[in-house]
A and B are shown apart, each in its own frame.
Chain A
Amino acid sequence: MSDHKNFETLVEDLFRHESGKMTAVLTKIFGMKHIDFAEDMVQDTFATAINSWSLNGIPENPSAWLYKVARNKATDQIRRNRFTADLDITEENRQLLSSEYTVELTMNKLWLEDTIKDDLLRMMFACCDDGISIDSQITLVLKTLCGFSTAEIAKALLVNEQTISKRLYRVKEYYRKNDIKPIFPQEHAIRPRVNAVLRSIYLLFNEGYNSTHNSLPIRKDLLNQAIYLCKLLSEHKRTALPEVLAALSLMCFHTARIESRTDENGDLILLADQDRSKWNQELIEQGHHYLNASASGSQLTTYHFEAAIAYEHCKAASIEETNWNQILAYYDIAMGMNPGPIVSLNRMIVFHKVYGLERTRMEIERSPHLANWQSNYLFQSFMGDLLRNEDREMAISHYKKAIKLSQNQAEKRLLQGKIDKITG
């Protein structure tokens, strides 16, 4: 029974990581417009693998085994349609793939480990093309790079399957019409293109993180996939930008604390009440390593601040020992860069920790974001927290507004709990 379970886990892990690589290579050979075909070939490869492995056991190097099968399938495909095959590869490789003298040699070169990694990055850039909406980008990333099925994407993104199918269909139309190719950006375009990819990866991460459904394994899987993709960017010298390392560090810090964030019923646990012994020290250590590495450039991004703040929380042995002054200092710099209502509101919560109720109230009254905040559940909830010992009626009214504004069932339950505490 446990063998059976191990087998399934192994195949699933392989599928998550190897299907994207194989799709990337096959797409390079057959072209973005044949991405469906490439995906089918990868599915076939796994079907072949499962059949063979369940009979003969798992080979020593399953990845190499998979590449070999996919490589042979691609070679067969080219042989079957030698003169009609619609190949999107360079003219040079096209000639060499068409000749029996060179087809296998050329094919082998296309499947070398280093080449595959580059292909995967090229594919990432194609998935996050500027002409594709951000929702479709993350859909495509999950489908193409992480090997999610349409049903799995729907479950992970809490959207129905039809919507996912439509998104995928439209993106593939876009590729066909605009002849998009998976290529590395030019030197001057690297930074904006990497940032576009990073935005998708981070959104994917937040989908998994900010969720009431994160007891679902598929949602947790989003966190692992986002970290995996970000690591790929961090491992290539052209894409290992400081903001990539900072985002990676931030994701490590958040993931380290995921187990302590909800109780067994899926209810949210406030930072102050979290069991810090559940925090994953290994991930915090990794996050710290990436945070240090991210300080190499002159450019500071919001990822840097969020990571630095998350690290302050991870470092503190208890809520009382948190270095709120340091965190406030980070927020002050972040405000200088991006003085938006959300950053400003988060800063206010920290400001309260440092300066207490009276000064916080004065700051809130003076804030240019006051009108904007009224429709933010976090602000209403924060106001409830501020006033609960001063003015119960006002506090309850703020909590009620917050419940109305929140989309999230676990948050709603948490807020109701706060009201019950005041009235009870």
Chain B
Amino acid sequence: MSEFLLLFRGGEGDELRKSPEAWQKHMERWGTWMGELSEQGKMMGAQPLAASGQVVSGQNKIVTDGPFMEGKEMVGGYLMCKAANYDEAMEISKGCPILEFENGIVEVREIQKLEM
């Protein structure tokens, strides 16, 4: 069993948020998706992220304000889960409600064991 980080990119919900009903239905699908993962014991954690942020970079540790990318590429949240391999991780990712948006992306990355 390996561990994977799923990064949710894009998928602006601004239009959807205008209708509280549609928004709630959408969020319920996130709940169902994560509920099933939890039930299978594969869910390790997930959080949505705020749209604004800051970055610190370089040896001079320069701090600048975000957003630092186009909305469609911005990370809006993450989920960590267990899966046997990439095939399974991709199957899991296909159920993610971010894909209801045209520009929704799930980036799947395996957790790497660092050899010291």
Question: Which residues of A are at the interface with B, using a C-beta cutoff of 8 A?
Answer: 91-93, 95-96, 98-102, 105-106
Whether the pair B41, A102 counts as a contact (CB closer than 8 A) is no
Interface flag for B106 (CB, 8 Å)? no
Contact among B31, B43, B77 for A106, CB-based, below 8 A: B31
* Residues in B whose Cβ lies below 8 Å from that of A96: 31, 34-35, 38, 43
Residue in A closest to B49 when the chains form the complex, CB atoms: A100
Q: Mark B42-59, 1 if CB is under 8 A from A, else 0.
A: 011111100000000000
Does any Cβ of A come within 8 Å of B27's Cβ? yes
The residue of chain B having its C-beta at the shortest distance from the C-beta of A94 within the complex is: B38
Bitwise, B7-38 to A at CB < 8 A (1) or not (0) is: 00000000000000000000110110011001
> Is chain A's interface secondary structure helix, strand, loop, or mixed overall?
helix
Q: List 30 A-B pairs, Cβ < 8 Å.
A: A91-B38, A91-B41, A92-B35, A92-B38, A93-B38, A95-B38, A95-B43, A95-B44, A96-B34, A96-B35, A98-B45, A99-B34, A99-B45, A99-B46, A99-B47, A100-B47, A100-B48, A101-B27, A101-B30, A101-B46, A101-B47, A101-B48, A101-B77, A102-B30, A102-B31, A102-B34, A102-B46, A105-B27, A105-B28, A106-B31
Instruction: Give the interface size bracket for B toward A.
Output: 10 to 19
- Which 4 pairs across A and B sit closest by C-beta, in order of nearness? A105-B31, A92-B38, A99-B46, A95-B38
Q: How far is the CA of A78 from the CA of B38 in the complex (A)?
A: 18
Q: Which residues of A contact B38 (CB under 8 A)?
A: 91-93, 95-96
Most buried by A among B38, B39, B41, B44: B38
Q: A102: which B residues are within 8 A, CB to CB?
A: 30-31, 34-35, 46
Residues of B55-77 contacting chain A, CB below 8 A: 77
Q: Which residue of the partner chain A has the closest CB to B40?
A: A92
The minimal Cβ–Cβ distance linking B116 to chain A, given in whole angstroms, is 26
Complex CA–CA separation, A99 to B31 (angstroms): 10
Q: Which of A92, A98, A99, A106 contacts B39 (CB 8 A)?
A: A92
Nearest B residue to A90 by beta-carbon distance?
Answer: B38
Q: Chain A's nearest CB lies how many Å from the CB of B62?
A: 30
A81 CB, min distance to chain B CBs, angstroms: 15
Kindly list 16 other residue pairs between chains A and B, CB separation below 8 angstroms, not including A93-B38, A102-B35: A91-B38, A92-B35, A92-B38, A92-B41, A95-B34, A95-B45, A96-B31, A96-B34, A96-B38, A98-B45, A99-B47, A100-B48, A101-B27, A101-B34, A102-B34, A106-B31
For the complex, what is the distance from the CA of A99 to the CA of B35, rounded to whole Å? 11
A93's nearest neighbour on chain B, judged by CB, is B38
Most-contacted residue by chain B among A96, A98, A100, A101 (CB, 10 A):
A101
Residue of A nearest to B36 (CB): A92
User: Residues of B contacting A98 with CB < 8 Å?
Assistant: 45
A328 to B46, CA, bound (A): 70
A418 to chain B minimum Cβ distance, whole angstroms, is: 70
Cβ-closest chain B residue relative to A104? B27
Q: Which residue of A lies closest to B24 (CB)?
A: A105
Closest to B37 in A: A95
Q: Which chain A residue has the least Cβ–Cβ distance from B97?
A: A101
Distance in angstroms from A141 CB to nearest chain B CB is 34
Chain A contacts for B44, CB-based, 8 A: 95
CA distance A225 to B77 in the complex (A): 49
Q: How far is the CA of A102 from the CA of B46 in the complex (A)?
A: 9
- Which among B28, B44, B47 has the greatest number of chain A C-beta atoms within 10 A? B47
**Chain B residues with CB under 8 A of A95:** 34, 38, 43-45
Question: Distance (Å) between the CB of A302 and the closest chain B CB?
Answer: 46
Cα(A96)–Cα(B30), bound, Å: 11
CA distance A99 to B46 in the complex (A): 5
Q: Give complex CA distance A106, B38 in Å.
A: 12
* Smallest CB separation, A85 vs chain B (Å): 13
CB distance from A203 to the nearest CB of B (A): 42
Chain B's nearest CB lies how many Å from the CB of A168? 35
Interface pair B31/A101, CB less than 8 Å apart: yes
Given the complex, which residues of B lie within 8 Å of A93, measured CB to CB?
38
Give the CA-CA distance A99 to B39 in the complex, in Å.
15
Bound CA span A99–B43, Å? 10
Residues of chain A within 8 A of B31, CB atoms compared: 96, 101-102, 105-106
Complex-state Cα separation, A262 to B64, whole angstroms: 82
Q: Which residue of A lies closest to B39 (CB)?
A: A92
Cα(A92)–Cα(B41), bound, Å: 7
For residue B28, which residues in chain A have a CB less than 8 angstroms away from its CB?
105
Complex CA–CA separation, A98 to B44 (angstroms) = 10
Q: How far is the CA of A105 from the CA of B34 in the complex (A)?
A: 11
Q: Which A residues touch B46, using CB under 8 A?
A: 99, 101-102
Cα distance A92–B44 in the bound complex, in angstroms? 10
Minimum CB–CB distance from A228 to chain B (whole Å) comes to: 34
Nearest-CB distance from B48 to chain A (Å)?
5
Complex formed: what's the CA distance from A177 to B77 in Å? Answer: 40
State A95–B43 Cα separation when bound (angstroms).
7
Question: Which B residue sits closest to A105, measured CB to CB?
Answer: B31
Using Cβ atoms and an 8 Å threshold, which residues of chain B touch A92?
A: 35, 38-39, 41
